[in-house]
Amino acid sequence: MSGICDRSRGPRIHSPRGQGKAATGRWRHDLDPCDTESVGDDVRSDLSDEEFVAGIPKVELHVHLEGTIEPLSLFRIAERNGIELPYDSPEGVVAFQAERRAPGNESLVNFLECLDISRGALRTGADYHTITVDFLARCRDEGVRYVEMMVDPQQAIRQGVPLGDCVEAITQGRADGLTNHGVRSQLIMCFQRDHPAAEAEALLEQADAHRDSIVGIGLDNYETPGFPALFAATYELARRREYRLTSHCDVNQPDSIRHIRACIEDLGVERIDHGLNTATDPSLVDLVLERGIALTACPTFYHGQQGAAESRLDMYRSLLDAGTMISLNTDDPAQFGSGWLTNTISEAMAAARFSRSDLVRFMHNAIDSAWTDEHHRRDLTSELLTFCNR
């Protein structure tokens, strides 16, 4: 057996990654007698690559609930809300998205326009409950043990769903997902970067009534001028309320490097959603390592985006090798052909030639940067180790 927890190796030698402070503010696994850094590429040689990817216990930290609506479900939700979709059939959704991400068409804007059509059908708390439960059922099938899901309440409110209805429906869906599918989850409330910061601040105050249902806040949607400085006060308010803090910094956007640095230094985020351009600036890599900032990359999402896919592969390869807390996530699995987590991992492994030990490191990074309690993180780590040692 090719085990990863070989106590006979003596004290663990810390790699650059091992020396970093976790995004949780704690030193990584000081108490663990061993960890995944000693995993070999021959781990679980009894399994095919497909079985290995399917079987590894998974954690996902960057997925938008509104991006999980599959075509059939979209049609059902639209029908019950009396909304006419610009598609003839569920197959038409896939065909339209494929056209919008064809070479030459691909961009964050095109992506968000497609997403708008899907999320535009959500009109009631019940819709948010449906998509949460459907998503968590899918997580179970994918071997996801724990997931942090994002939602944009501003979108819900614009479509007639008050904040309370949206959050309560998702909270009930999370409880149902745990009971029925055994998947633990938490909710991240995202504000939209292309909408006024004052709106975000007002929403943050309203969210006090639901504080226990929301683990952290983020920023998403279009990466517009003024981001992230415009949201400094919002983040200060959120910090005082002890929310965990993240923000999107989409890939290859104008001023990507400046945005990532400002999110870390001025907003005080613990994570960057995407943030791959970090790889192109050594001083930013140092900052990310020094502060233990986690990066939630979404490999299949980048297929539909501008810029050579290869350069993005290079970026997450070099971020993994530099020892950053980079993880693999889906972002919007039902959009633009991204696919669910198993597919995302398989595609990333094939495209970037990640090895099994790389995959274990990505998963360990996800666990270490998860906003769950230390006990739970240790349980998740030990399940990962058990899988590898079986």
Name the site residues for ligand ADE (rule: CB under 6 A).
Answer: 64, 67, 115, 220-221, 248, 250, 301, 331-332
Nearer to Zn ion, 194 or 236 (CB): 194
Nearer to Zn ion, 124 or 185 (CB): 185
Nearest to 111 by CA among 272, 256, 280, 300: 300
Nearer to ligand ADE, 115 or 289 (CB): 115
Which of ligand ADE, Zn ion, none does residue 217 bind (CB under 5 to 8 Å by kind)?
A: none
Which of ligand ADE, Zn ion, none does residue 165 bind (CB under 5 to 8 Å by kind)?
A: none
Task: Tell me the number of residues near Zn ion by CB under 5 A.
Answer: 1
Q: Which residues contact 169 (CB under 8 A, 6 or more apart)?
A: 125, 126, 127, 128, 129, 132
Nearer to Zn ion, 133 or 149 (CB): 149
Q: Is 243 helix (H, G, I), strand (E, B) or coil?
A: coil
Q: Smallest distance from the beta carbon of 252 to ligand ADE, in angstroms?
A: 12
Q: Is 132 helix (H, G, I), strand (E, B) or coil?
A: helix
Which of ligand ADE, Zn ion, none does residue 299 bind (CB under 5 to 8 Å by kind)?
A: none
Nearer to ligand ADE, 115 or 197 (CB): 115
Token pair of 388, please?
A: 């590898």
Nearer to ligand ADE, 142 or 250 (CB): 250
End-to-end Cα, the chain, rounded Å? 8
What is the Cα–Cα distance from 360 to 349, expressed in whole angstroms? 12
Rounded to the nearest 10 degrees, how much is the dihedral formed by the CA atoms of 158, 161, 164, 170? -110
Confirm or reject binding of residue 106 to Zn ion (CB under 5 A). Answer: no
* Closest CB to ligand ADE: residue number: 220
Token pair of 324, please?
A: 């950053």
Q: Smallest distance from the beta carbon of 221 to ligand ADE, in angstroms?
A: 5
Q: Which residues of 160-199 are buried (b: 16+ CB within 10 A; e: fewer)?
A: ebebebbbbbbbbbbeebeeebebbbbbbbbbbbebebee
Which of ligand ADE, Zn ion, none does residue 67 bind (CB under 5 to 8 Å by kind)?
A: ligand ADE
Q: Smallest distance from the beta carbon of 119 to ligand ADE, in angstroms?
A: 9
Nearer to ligand ADE, 20 or 228 (CB): 228
In the range 291-350, which residues lie near Zn ion by CB under 5 A?
Answer: 331
CB 88 within 8 A of CB 140: no
* Closest CB to Zn ion: residue number: 331
Count helices and strands in the chain by DSSP H and E runs: 16, 8
Which of Zn ion, ligand ADE, none does residue 246 bind (CB under 5 to 8 Å by kind)?
A: none
For binding to Zn ion (CB under 5 A), which residues are involved? 331
